[in-house]
Amino acid sequence: MSTRKKAPESMPSVEQVETELKNINYRKKFRSTLFSTISILIVVAAVAVLVSTLFFPVVQVAGSSMEPTLKEGDILVLVKSDKVTYGEMCCVSWQNKSLLKRVIGLSGDIIDMDADGNVFVNGELINEPYVVEKELGRCEIEFPYQVPENKIFILGDQRESSVDSRSSAIGCVGKDQIVGRVLFKVWSKK
């Protein structure tokens, strides 16, 4: 056994201590900033989801019933409201599906369509520049047709293939079925 004394460990210099303190402070600041940033991002995401759910739902177009105005894949922002007016595009809920259609008639209106696809509301021919080919399409209701109370009459812009208020399966939709009216198109698939 040796009785040799251990050499004392050398003390760090003042510069080394200062450098180490700076590193420790930097790591603390970095963690704090990272935690703060992640917290802010989570709050912003939650607010965005809340706003889009309660006030401005976002939907993606599926199908061709609104062409050429809307194409499949277009992304739309709606404003949540059951107050719609003539010619506006709105999204309605039907059998757990969302349908995008155009408002043609409101409660009490008399809707008529002739064999050529011309649409009359309360006896007046409506101007429909968004319809490329007018036609009666598949129609299961009898015209003239009066829109029931608290309902709206909707049609797709592609009259030959659109399933809308002319179909007995859908018919006129209630105000409680309106998800919202189209506010603007966010992205268009070309």
pLDDT tens figures, 15-64: 888 898 898 999 999 999 999 999 999 988 888 777 777 777 888 888 88
CATH of the domain at 145: 2.10.109.10
Domain count, the chain: 2
| 18 and 85 part of one domain | no
Backbone angles phi, psi at 139, to 5 degrees: -130, 125
Let me know if residue 91 belongs to a domain.
Answer: yes
Catalytic residues: 65, 101
pLDDT tens for 103-134 read 999 999 999 999 999 999 999 999 999 998 88
Let me know if residue 4 belongs to a domain.
Answer: no
Let me know if residue 1 belongs to a domain.
Answer: no
Let me know if residue 5 belongs to a domain.
Answer: no
| 28 and 101 part of one domain | no
SS3 73: coil
Reported as a pLDDT band with limits 50, 70 and 90, residue 144 is very high
- Cα separation of 147 and 149, whole Å? 7
Backbone angles phi, psi at 142, to 5 degrees: -100, 130
SS3 25: helix
| 42 and 98 part of one domain | no
Domain holding 49, by residue range, is 13-54
**Whole-prediction pTM value?**
0.73
| 170 and 144 part of one domain | yes
Let me know if residue 182 belongs to a domain.
Answer: yes
Locate tokens 């070309």: which residue? 190
